[in-house]
Structure formats: C-alpha cells, structure tokens
Amino acid sequence: MGTGNAPRFGVEEEFLVVDAQTRAPVPRAQELIDAAKPRLDGRVSGEITTWQLETRTHPCTSAAEVLAQLREARTEVGKQAHELGVRLIASGSPVLGAAVPPPMTQGPRQTLGQQTFRGLHDELAICALHVHVEMPDRDHAVRVSNLLRPYLPVLLTLTANSPYWDGRDSGYASWRTMTWPRWPVAGPPPEFASAEHYDEVVGTLLAAGALVDRGTVFWDVRPSASHPTLEVRVADVPITAEESALYAALVRALVAHLSARLDAGEASPQIPGELMRTAYWRAARDGLCGDGVDLRTGVLTPAFALLDRMVDEIGPVLDANGDAGAVAGWLASLRHGGIGAQRQRAAARRNGRLADVVDYLAEQTIA
C-alpha cells in the first residue's frame, strides 16, 4: 500500500465498550481513554455517550501508514480494555443490551444538545468511520462534495456493519444509517454553490435552532470544521483495521478523481431528493447483498455492479497511489466472506447466540 502524488488523509474510528461477561455496553469508556492516552499521543478521546470512544490517525501519506496507526490504537485500547475486564468492539450499533437510552457524557454542550434534540439522543450509541482528505481550500472542498454525493450510497454498501439493535436483528445491513437521518442536519448534504453558500446555509440552520453549534453539522460529507480537509462520514465503523485503511484509501482516490474532474469544469449532477433517499434506504437495507439504485438512471442495479463501476472509474488513481492491488484484494474478500453485517449474522448462526457475535467482534477488532 503505497502512494503517488496523492493528498494526505486521516481516519477517525468510533468503538463501543462492552462488558466481558454480559457483552452489553458499559459506561467505562473514560477509564480506557485515560489508560490509553499516554501511549497514543492524544489520538484517543471520548464520544457523546460513555459507552463509546474514538481513536484517530495523524495525517498520513499512504494506506500503510494509516493501517499502522489504526492497528496501534486498536491494540493499545484493546489491551487496556482486557486489563479492566471489558472489551472493545467495532460495530456500527450495539448487539446486546438495552440500547435506549445510552448514558451521556456531561457538560454544557451536551446539556444544550439534550434540550435541543431531546429523544434523538436516545439512539446515539452508534459508531461511524470518518475519512479526512486534504483539500487546497474550503471552496474546493465544498465543490468536490457536490460531485461526491452520487457515490455515497455505494460507499455505504461497502461498510454496512450494524445489523443488530437492542438485542434483535433489524433486518438491515446498516441500522445506524436508518437512525441517523432523523436528525435535522444529517444524511446526504444538499448541493452548495460555494463555501460562502455553505456557511450561509449553516448560519441559517444555526439561527433556526437546528444546530447546537457549527460542530453539529452531521451531513455525510462536509468541509471539516477544524482541519483543511473534506470529511466523508457515511460509513459504519468496519470490523477490522485493514478494512478501515483500505476503505480510506478508496475514498482518497475517489476524492482525488473528483477533484480532477472539478478542475476540468465538470458540473455536479442533479439528483432528486426522493431518489437519493431511496438509494440510501436500499444501501442500508441490503448492503452489497442486493440491488442498489443507479442514481444516473433511477434503475435498480446489482450493488456489486455499482461498486465495480466506481472502482473502475477511480482505478487509475488507485494504481498511481499504489493501492489498486490491496483494494482489489479487499473487495474480493467481501464477495467471498461478506460485508460486516453478513459476518455478524454468520457468527450468530453458528450457535444461535448473539453473545457469539460480540465475541467475534471483540476478537476481530484488535486482530
């Protein structure tokens, strides 16, 4: 996994902390964060609930560098978890235990969030993967995000990893995706004419009370509020570090490809909102196992065909970055062994126990 003249990129992964015996989430994330911080150089922090924590990489130039930092963080937090009698799992949603409501971290911002969003906070025990790709400026980032919108459902199918919720099978590959768009500023973003237009819209939403602050813009693509990057937030957290690194490499190649198309003067496609919503729903329900919506035509198309078309399109960039072979190997493994949701369900079928799913996740998360 190498790199050519590619933009730097980084990854944020969110995890659940579960009890080693009950396999249900437990509010001990802060203990793990405190224990792991000295070794991870500030690359671990808390999340909105006390069941969750987040690790992140520094800006990286290659997928190999991303993978090394992801493995280091998972290994260190996993070691500390074992010593505390808990486990770390990479799943977009809890498998066992009462998921609603989760215990929230405390502070003025959280209090304001609770007052603003109320019952929406009850379903926040969900874990995502965020990929940051370096951009020359915010205006460029916003314009690339317009071109990225049609690919978001395809990216979701790759990483759907949240089939269980509140101790039952939701019937969806990514139940996290079905809960998240209930928020007023979440899901696929609208199209923006410029960074100035983006800021105007966010300012209007803030004035309308739809946001606590500009950090609570939860669209699946956004210019980062704190880094010179475009942040792609559509994915469930993958089970393994290797999947996260290769997905990030794929996202970087896609963003670089679209950036070149933007520079060549390509206009963003016009996608009806109801069609985008349907494409998201199909992707969340079936992942790569069924048909997705071709946003160019509105026609149902095998999800793998949509994925193959995207990968073929960005193939030259993946090749230039030195990532083509590794990404191809990963996609072949998904065809053979299934996406995260399929593998979770396979673990449940072995003995008919959801506890086995949690054990499988705990083992694979730090493998």
At 86-108, the pLDDT tens digits run 999 999 999 999 999 999 999 99
Residue 98, domain extent:
9-365
Amino acid at 166: D
pLDDT tops 60 at residue 55: yes
- State the pLDDT confidence band at 64, using cuts at 50, 70 and 90: very high
Over residues 326-346, mean pLDDT: 97
Is 153 among the domain residues? yes
Question: pLDDT band at 10, cuts 50/70/90?
Answer: very high
Q: pLDDT band at 1, cuts 50/70/90?
A: very low
Asked whether the predicted pLDDT for residue 3 surpasses 60, the reply is: no
Tokens of 255: 């963003």
Residue at 180 is within a domain: yes
Check residue 38 and give its pLDDT.
95
Task: Please indicate, yes or no, if residue 4 is contained in any of the structural domains.
Answer: no
Token pair of 70 as six digits: 């992801």
Taking the alpha carbons at both ends of the chain, their separation in whole angstroms is 19
Angle at 360 between CA 74 and CA 27, to 5 degrees: 60
Q: What is the CA radius of gyration of the chain?
A: 19
Asked whether residue 42 is domain-assigned, the answer is yes
Q: Residue 249 has what pLDDT?
A: 98
Q: What confidence category does residue 313 fall into, taking pLDDT thresholds of 50, 70 and 90?
A: very high
Q: What's the pLDDT score for residue 215?
A: 85
Cα 295 to Cα 14: distance, rounded to the nearest angstrom: 29
CATH (domain of 204): 3.30.590.20
**Residue 194 placed within a domain:** yes
Residue 2 lies in a domain: no
Q: For residues 218 and 122, is the Cβ–Cβ distance under 8 A? A: no
Residue-wise pLDDT for 111-165, tens only, equals 998 999 999 999 999 999 999 999 999 999 999 999 999 999 999 999 999 999 9
Does any domain span residue 147? yes
Residue 2 has pLDDT above 50, yes or no: no
Residue 86 DSSP SS3: strand
Average pLDDT of the residues in 180-200: 95
Instruction: Reply yes or no on whether the pLDDT at 264 is more than 70.
Output: yes
Residue type, 112: L
Report strand pairing: 186-187 vs 218-219: parallel
- Using DSSP's 3-state secondary structure scheme, residue 328 falls into helix
**CA dihedral angle for residue 88, residue 92, residue 95, residue 99, rounded to 10 degrees:** 100
Instruction: Report helix, strand or coil for 48.
Output: coil
Residue 1 CA from chain centroid, whole number = 21
Which amino acid makes up residue 268?
S
How far apart CA 249 and CA 131 sit, in angstroms, is 9
Peptide bond into 150 cis (omega under 30): no
Backbone angles phi, psi at 81, to 5 degrees: -65, -45
Residue 41, SS3? coil
What local confidence, expressed as pLDDT, does residue 317 receive?
A: 98
Residues of the chain with pLDDT > 70: what percent? 99
User: For 85-161, where are the alpha helices, taking DSSP H only?
Assistant: 108-117, 138-148, 152-159
Is residue 1 domain-resident?
no
Structural domain count of the chain: 1
Answer whether 279's CB lies under 8 Å from 153's CB.
Answer: yes
For residues 76 and 71, give the distance between their C-alpha atoms in angstroms, rounded to a whole number: 8
Position 244 pLDDT exceeds 70: yes
**8 Å CB contact between 229 and 133:** yes
